[in-house]
Amino acid sequence: MLSVLSYGRLVARAIIGGLSQAESRDFSLVTASCGFGKDVRREEERMRGRGEEERRKMTSYGDDACFTARHSSADVLGVADGVGGWRDYGVDPSQFSGTLMKTCERLVKEGRFIPSHPVGLLTSSYYELLQNKVPLLGGSTACIVVLDRQSRRLHTANLGDSGFLVVRGGEVVHRSDEQTHYFNAPFQLSIAPPGSEGAVLSDSPDAAGSTSFDVLLGDIIVTASDGLFDNMPDYMILQELTKLKGSSYESIQQTARSLAEQAHILAYDPNYMSPFALLACDHGLDVRGGKPDDITVLLSIVAEFTD
């Protein structure tokens, strides 16, 4: 009798102990990225001679750039869409977005950021771009997603028309707000040549919209440039995500790739009524088909933190 009670107590303690441990375990993001640049020929040049491993670690697709980084308290990822219009003025748009994302990555790795304040990360990164001896020019949108591991909250900052979706149980529970000045002119961080500041759209990092919310295990976060969202409506994205099995890196990588590929195919379909085409029609423009654009997809799953 007594032994049963003591045994029971032990078992109860073990169960409660196990539960409370699960309560206090940190979350983390398992992230995979994939993308396609718009200029197929240029991208083939770049991909030539790169092995599979290298392709996985790529951080830029066309004029888009992305990064993922870990710090002791947070997992951070970001995407930046370089504004293509700068090419007409002899400026390579991928330089600005690439440097912006690399600087964000470095700031995260060195801990020079506050997880609950991703707009601060964007501001610091933009400031660091101005501290470079090299005279950078160009502009890009930016979307930063930070998971605070211990508090299990997701903090986001979005400037422009890139963005993110949070999918839980097959439904979109959070999404970013698109910021545009007018049709096809998103909010953007930019550095203009001196004298042309008035002619160029240049938004302050403070103009970024930011949100914070709790996440649960198994939440899926899709962070992407407008190349994805302009070519694939929500239901198609959700359909692709149902194919995601488990939270292993390989399956996430596979799903990210299929999302990007599908968007890429749809972009060049001349008859398909893409979200971009639908929006253009709303503005009175007679447009059909997809929107050829650089596509970058970062797919993340909220999982338990393992070192």
Partner 1 sequence: MLTLLSMFYYICLRRRSRSGTRGEALHSRRAVESGQRAALPVSPEVEQYAKEVLDFSSHYGSENSMSYTMWNLAGVPNVYPSSGDFTQTAVFRAYGTWWEQCASAPPRFCRTPPGFHSQDYIELAYEEPVYPTAVEVLETYYPGAIVQIQACSLNPFSQNTPSDVRWEVLWSSEPTKVLTPQARQFSPAIKQISFPTNLLRLEVNSSLQQYYTELDAVILRGVRDRPILTLYKRPVIDVGDLSDSDEELADMAAACRYGSDEGPPHATGNGHFDRLPYELIQLILSHLTLRDLCRLAQSCKLLHQHCCDPLQYTQLSLQPYWARLSDASLGHLQSRCALLQRLNLSWTGNRGTLTPSGFTSFIKVCGSSLVCLELSCCHFLSEACLEVVSQSCPGLQELNLSSCDRLHPLAFTHVSKLTRLRRLVLYRTKIEQTAILSILTFCIELRHLNLGSCVRIDDYDVVASMLSARCRSLRSVDLWRCRNLTERGLAELVSGCRTLEELDLGWCPTLQSSSGCFQHLARKLPRLRKLFLTANRSVCDADLEALADNCPSLQHLDILGTRMVSPPALKKLLQSCPKLLLLDVSFCSQVDNRNVQELSALFPKVAIKKSFTQ
Binding residues vs partner 1 (CB under 8 A): 106-107, 110, 112, 127-128, 130-135, 137, 193-195
Selection from 263, 291, 262, 293 nearest residue 279 by Cα: 291
Least gap, CB of 248 to partner 1 (angstroms): 29
Tokens representing 220 are 């899926």
Pairing of strands 153-159, 142-148: antiparallel
- Taking each helix axis from N to C end, the angle separating 93-109 and 118-130, rounded to the nearest 10 degrees, works out to 120
- Pick the closer one to partner 1 by CB: 119 or 137: 137
| Residue number, 71 or 112, with CB nearest to partner 1 | 112
Cβ proximity to partner 1, 103 vs 179, nearer residue? 103
- The CB-of-172 to partner 1 minimum distance in angstroms stands at 37
Question: Angle 213-218-220 (CA atoms, 0-180°, nearest 5)?
Answer: 65
Distance CA 262, CA 231 (A): 9
Residue type, 54: E
Distances (CA, A) of 63 to 33, 138, 263, 273, 294: 15, 11, 17, 25, 7
Q: Smallest distance, Å, CB 75 to partner 1?
A: 20
**Choice between 49 and 194, CB closer to partner 1:** 194
Shortest Cβ 259–partner 1 spacing (Å): 33
Shortest Å, Cβ 249 to partner 1? 24
Q: Measure the CA–CA gap between 253 and 149, rounded to whole angstroms.
A: 22
Q: CB burial class (10 A; 0-12, 13-18, 19+) of residue 253?
A: middle
Q: Which is nearer to partner 1, 169 or 194 (CB)?
A: 194
Instruction: Give how far Cα 95 sits from Cα of 61, 135, 260, Å.
Output: 12, 11, 22
Among residues 70 and 106, whose Cβ is nearest to partner 1? Answer: 106
Locate 50 and state its tokens.
Answer: 């790169």
Minimal distance in Å, beta carbon 295 to partner 1? 29
